[in-house]
Amino acid sequence: ELTLFEAVAQRIPSRAAVATELLTKHRDTTIHELTVGSVMMGMRGTPALLWEISETNAYGIKYHGKTVTELKQLLPKWPGSTQIAPEAMLWYLYTAQVPTQSQVEKLTADLVLRAKLPADAEAFCDALAKDIAADAQIMMTLTYLARYSKFTAAVTKGTHKNDLWKAVLEDALDISSRFPMIMARVYANKHDLPHQDWTTELDLAANYTRHIGRGDDFDYTEFTRLCWALYMDHGANVSAHAMRLCSSAWTDSYLMVVSGMIAGTGPLHAKAIADSVMFNLAMIRSLGQSPSTDDITAYVGRHLSGGKIVPGFGHALLRVPDARLAFLDEFLESHPSSDPKTHSFLSLIKNINSVVPDLLREKVLTMKNPHPNADALSGSILHAYGMDVDFMMSFFATSRVAGFLVQQVWDRALGLSMERPLSLTMEELLAKARPA
């Protein structure tokens, strides 16, 4: 049975052959016409970045040709769990192969053993002031850990560029397990909980929930597995694009990951998860626990009249409802809360999500997709499980980062070039656009 390193090594020649064909036979073939709109409007719809791990378009995402629904049937799960094991998803993203249960178990044991932070990094993390936002503490600890980058060490040592992917894969696996470990450590520090040693008896999600004092809550662990498997990749979104850019310049994997997190702090991107929760809570404070549809419509209408964004709605790429939302909905159906207050809170969020699209259609005529995106529900479920809003971006970044690190390994395995598009002024653009 192959190890992950062997499985990646085995796949490289066939993928390198495709890259060579593209670069030799088809290098000058036109695949897209660039318009003024592409340049002026954030490159929407411009197919410009090579992506090895998924095809993401207006209709959703396929990982190596398969939908999440298909992968839910195919990929191994942990005993007693109904969710894709995130570690199995990770293996699949790296190799395009469905792993055996024992391959997932061995990968997971390896990840858990890598999770332990060096003592100086633990001390650094523990010394951070508790009132620094969780996301910032996690970024600071990752930045500190850059001194341990095996990729940087390999570059400094003068390793042949064809072999750098191996050092990136080492960093990638270290970070994929250290990230949730750091998040758990920061949570425990902020909540005065004792630290737990991670055990190879448990998968990453179960170690994480145990560390944050929620090991007995099986549904919480299941929700964690669901989200970590579901959010690993979504193509060239803002945070992944930031990481892709840094990766292209051989930035070390720890700092590259921090670049993605910084990009995620934008309210139009991952901060929308926390913002959606805060928006909903503010609405409840203003309208009470069971507002009518008319009350919700009037409240959101006033918000829109102020020229503000409703977090959790719209999408830059998807032109169909966000498939991840259906998975979150299905989770709520199959794991109803026994607490009536939580149950009614989540029912209200679902009601808000069903009322707002019509209002957006009416009030924001230019909006291309008024449906709720995954962020309209994900954070509220986490909130219902008791998670503080300043951890929410990191909770989802845990898996986005692990997924993007797969891409970084392939960036180096395929020897992709540094990103450096041309910039142009509006005058240059006008000169190109105006008829001669």
Query: Of all helices (H) and strands (E), which one includes residue 60?
Result: strand 60-63
Least gap, CB of 403 to ligand NMX (angstroms): 14
Q: Which does 272 bind (CB under 5 to 8 A by kind): ligand NMX, ligand MLT, none?
A: ligand NMX
Q: How far is the CB of 381 from ligand NMX (least distance, A)?
A: 14
Site string for ligand NMX, 327-366 (x = CB under 6 A): -------------------------------------x-x
Which residues inside 258-277 make contact with ligand NMX, applying CB under 6 A? 268-269, 272
Q: Min. distance of Cβ 64 from ligand MLT in angstroms?
A: 18
| Cα atoms found within 13 Å of the Cα of residue 11, Cβ hemisphere only | 21
Site for ligand MLT contains 230 (CB under 6 A): no
DSSP H/E element including 54? strand 54-57
Task: Identify residues 207-236 at the interface with ligand NMX (CB under 6 A).
Answer: none
> Using the rule CB under 6 A, which residue among 368, 424, 426, 433 binds ligand NMX?
368
**Between 260 and 291, whose beta carbon lies closer to ligand MLT?**
260
Among 185, 315, 400, 412, binds ligand NMX (CB under 6 A): 315
- Considering only 149, 189, 196, 237, the residue that binds ligand MLT (CB under 6 A) is 237
Residues 340-399 close enough to bind ligand MLT by CB under 6 A: 373
Q: Which span sits near ligand NMX by CB under 6 A: 19-27, 116-124, 188-196, 309-317?
A: 309-317
Of 95 and 369, CB closest to ligand MLT: 369
Which residue stretches of 128-217 are H helix?
Answer: 134-145, 150-157, 164-190, 204-211
Q: Which listed range, 29-37, 152-160, 310-318, 418-426, lies at the site for ligand NMX (CB under 6 A)?
A: 310-318
Q: Contacting ligand MLT (CB under 6 A), which of 185, 190, 234, 371?
A: 234
Residue selected from 165, 313, 327, 404 as contacting ligand NMX according to rule CB under 6 A: 313
* The token pair that represents 286 in the structure block: 């203003």
Residue 312 partner contact from ligand NMX, ligand MLT, none using kind-dependent CB cut-offs of 5 to 8 Å: ligand NMX
Cβ proximity to ligand NMX: between 193 and 323 the closer is: 323
- Name the residue nearer to ligand MLT (CB basis): 57 or 297: 57
Cα separation of 133 and 96, whole Å? 37
314 interacts with ligand NMX by CB under 6 A: yes
Query: What's the CA gap between 428 and 58, in Å, rounded?
Result: 31
Residues 37, 44 contacting (CB under 8 angstroms): yes
**Considering the complex, what minimum distance in angstroms separates the CB of residue 373 from ligand MLT?**
6
Select the residue interacting with ligand MLT from 39, 245, 310, 317 (CB under 6 A): 317
Nearest Cα neighbor of 56 from 233, 247, 189 is 233
Size of the site for ligand NMX (CB under 6 A): 19
At 424 the three-state DSSP class reads: coil
Strand partners, 60: 57
How far apart are CB 236 and ligand MLT at their closest, in Å?
Answer: 8
Q: How many CA atoms lie within 13 A of 152 on its CB side?
A: 11
Helix orientation angle between 204-211 and 86-95, rounded to the nearest 10 degrees: 140
Verify binding: residue 185, ligand MLT, rule CB under 6 A: no
The pairing of beta strand 60-63 with beta strand 54-57: antiparallel
Instruction: Cite the active site residues.
Output: 269, 315, 375
Distance between CA 131 and CA 47 in Å, rounded?
42
Angle between helices 392-413 and 271-287 (to 10 degrees): 160
Cβ atoms within 10 Å, residue 65: 9
CA torsion, ordered 98, 104, 106, 112, to nearest 10 deg = 140
Which of residues 77 and 363 has its CB atom nearest to ligand NMX in the complex? Answer: 363
Partnered with residue 313 across adjacent β-strands are 372
Query: What tokens does 131 get?
Result: 């009132």
C-alpha span between 24 and 18 (Å, rounded): 10
Interface pick for ligand MLT out of 298, 316, 364, 367 (rule CB under 6 A): 316
In the list ligand MLT, ligand NMX, none, the entry touching 310 (Cβ below 5 to 8 angstroms by class) is ligand NMX
For ligand NMX, the nearest residue by Cβ is 314
User: How many angstroms separate the CA atoms of 135 and 260, rounded?
Assistant: 12
Q: Are 244 and 403 contacting, i.e. CB atoms less than 8 angstroms apart?
A: no
Q: Does 49 bind ligand MLT (CB under 6 A)?
A: no
Is the separation of the CB atoms in 406 and 173 below 8 Å? no
**What's the N-to-C CA distance of the chain in angstroms?**
64
Binding residues vs ligand NMX (CB under 6 A): 268-269, 272, 309-316, 364, 366-369, 373-375
Note the residues at the interface with ligand MLT (CB under 6 A). 234, 237, 316-317, 373
